[in-house]
A and B are shown apart, each in its own frame.
Chain A
Amino acid sequence: MSITYLEAIREAQAKALADDPRVYIYGQDVGAFGGAFKATKNLAKEFPGRVLDAPISEDAIIGSAIGAAIEGMRPIIEMQYADFSTAGFNQIVNHAATLHWRTQIPCPITIRLPSGGTAGSGPFHSQSMEALYATYPGLIVMTPATVEDAYSMLLEAVAIDDPVIFCEHKYLYYHLKAESLPTEAMPTGKARIARAGRDVTIVTYSAMVHEALAMAEELATEDIDVEVVDLRSIKPLDTDTVLASVARTGRLLAVGEAWPWGGVTAEVVSRVATEGFALLDAPPMRLNAKESPVPFHPNLWGTHRPTARSIAIAVRQLLSY
């Protein structure tokens, strides 16, 4: 028996609903229909009155979750696509993110963002928005790369007393499988060494972890030994694990599917440069998507985002310094 990344998200929600009567799910088409991606399949039937369809009103969906959280509930909100969360952006960054700091009242909301690119999805169904949310104090931003993390981190997100932006990658929904659901989990805030290596450190997260791992296997045949660090959550960002890895390899390549300006890769490079300058044998590098909206056609999309191939080129460049 195997379970996909998407099924893990569904199972985590089922467990959250079963374990805690304060949990409910609210979003567009999440009820009887089971969600645009079927992440809430059968949940409305299994948990009557707790998996509820919303009007197409992202501001009201997030705003209502804030009110419900004040009232003691723990809503799980599904944005149909991460891209549409900009229509609820104000409530997320100005209302949910500031509530606890302003009032000491916790705001335990989990906002699920089906994120990232898939072939043929185009500019408005492909975005990686994690950095946008990470810049606001008061939010936690999770970016699970594995089936196990998708499950355990979503459960942790629901349990956390703060608003959590849960960036689940659509490309991994069906591609990624595990044998079973995990019984234990790493805590949020800890990065994971996805592959140990001695020559170069790749720091990445979400779907790019798998591009990096594929690249690492390819380069292993050339006797290049790549270490891959999966950040798991980009806020908080586990600087210690990143620095420890760079201390072993002396070289850093930060990879992200998001756009290049600012963002997670810039943050990683900045932290390593300021806190681990002496550990570096070469200038740190970054690899991101191209500086353009995410293209529709698979030919263009496949070049827009980093891939195992483009990461391998960057690694060779880094090693040639």
Chain B
Amino acid sequence: MVPKTISSHINVAETEAKRKACVEAFRWMLLARISEEKYASLYRGGKIFGGVFIGKGQEAVSASLGVSLRKGDVFAPLIRDQAARLAFGEPLIDATRTYLGSRLGPMRGRDGNVHRGRPRDGILPMISHLGAMIPAVGGVLFARKLKGETGSVGATCIGEGGTSTGAFHEGMNFAAVEKLPFVMIVANNQYAYSTPTSKQYACKDLVDKAAGYGIPGYAVDGTRLEACLDVIGHAVELARNGGGPQLIVASILRLAGHGEHDDAHYIDPKLKQSSLGQDCLKLAENFLLEQTWADSSDIESWQKEAAQLVEESVATAQREPAPDPGEEDWCPLATRHLSEGYNSEEE
């Protein structure tokens, strides 16, 4: 029997760990929300090349994944994963530079907005074709398995719309067959661009798909940070400890357009009024206050700090040079001498 004093000590430690994770995730959510609101405002001001795609309403899910991953893990974010990117270690300036077209950004003007990444740091840059990143993350884990390396996990996110692709199925099945330490987050935000869930899937709940792959599946209320942290944190640990792939389906509502060009007029007002339509950031703030894990002055200072980081990154990126077509080498190959001469002939 565990002596009472030790037991209560463990509870205190657990509570403290939960408080820390919750505060950390909340602060990433704040930074994600404030940075994306800034990009949206720059978009409206015509300062952004291409589109802006924000994760408003998905930050609790996203941040929970980000804080559950560690250095050495591999993560392929999708378009609404600003919070997870930041929590996983992507510098804020990467997003700002990529949106503003700085040539100092990780994609150097060759790719934009949410298509950024740092493969050497475990952040795979998404291609636009939904589901394609699933086998790529699986491939990193497969390679580690072949090398006999254990202890790391891979994760990626997708919307409910992306679960309808063949790539989703192939990637999930591959991960399951190879028992890879892979975590799949499905953010069911009720709309794939304008298409409602009734035209996307016919199963009762997307989490039912897990059974078809022979892997554990979890449904979670994606508006609740504390629930997301519990469920996603648990799944990541299971995967890390040899439990194979994990599927998490988080129910949320997209609180923005598909991109900032989209007024999302098609979203059912009843959904907006439902519990799904609640703002996860506000709910997380209330939760922190209720738990007395933060007070309003903490939250105010975190908001200020996040806003300042965002302003600094925008000011930095705005001073930086744009890509110069004359300096671009236009070479698609690593093996330069095997390049065709088309581009050099044009000069």
Chain A residues in contact with chain B, CB under 8 A? 24, 49-50, 54-55, 57-73, 90-91, 94-95, 97-103, 105-108, 137-138, 140, 160-162, 188-189, 235-237, 239
Contact = CB atoms under 8 A, between A and B. Distances in A.
13 contacts: A58-B170, A60-B173, A63-B136, A64-B174, A67-B135, A90-B167, A101-B332, A102-B125, A103-B117, A107-B334, A140-B338, A162-B338, A189-B338
Interface stretch (B32-40, B141-149, B225-233): B141-149
Given A63-B135, A102-B115, 6 more contacts: A64-B138, A67-B142, A70-B136, A90-B167, A103-B106, A108-B334
Q: Max chain B CB contacts within 10 Å: which of A103, A108, A236? A: A103
Contacts of B135: 57, 59-64, 66-67, 91
B127 interface: yes
Contacts of B136: 63-64, 66-67, 70, 91, 95
Q: Would you list the 5 A-B pairs with minimal beta carbon distance, nearest first?
A: A67-B139, A63-B135, A64-B139, A60-B170, A71-B143
B124 A70 contact: yes
A59 B338 contact: no
Interface string B164-175: 001100110110
A71 B166 CA distance: 24
A105 B177 CA distance: 28
A59 B168 CA distance: 10
A98 B338 contact: no
Interface residues of B, number: 47
B107 interface: yes
Contacts of A49: 146
A106 B171 CA distance: 22
Contacts of B335: 140, 160-162
Contact of A138 (B128, B137, B333): B333
A237 B120 CA distance: 33
Given A94-B127, A95-B132, A95-B136, A63 B338 contact: no
B117 A100 contact: no
Contacts of B111: 102
Contacts of B137: 67
A264 to B, nearest CB: 13
B141 A67 contact: yes
B340 interface: yes
A107 B332 CA distance: 11
Given A60-B167, A70-B119, A236-B340, A90 B139 contact: no
A95 to B, nearest CB: 5
Contacts of B138: 60, 63-64, 67
Given A188-B338, A189-B337, A189-B338, A67 B124 contact: yes
Interface in B103-142: 106-107, 110-111, 115, 117-120, 124-125, 127-129, 131-142
B18 to A, nearest CB: 33
Contacts of B110: 101-102
Q: Max chain B CB contacts within 10 Å: which of A68, A69, A105? A: A68
A234 to B, nearest CB: 11
Contacts of A57: 135, 170, 173-174
Interface string B72-115: 00100000000000000000000000000000001100110001
B139 A68 contact: yes
A204 B144 CA distance: 42
A59 B173 CA distance: 11
A54 B173 CA distance: 11
A61 B140 CA distance: 12
Contacts of B119: 70, 99, 103, 105
B339 to A, nearest CB: 7
Nearest to A104: B334
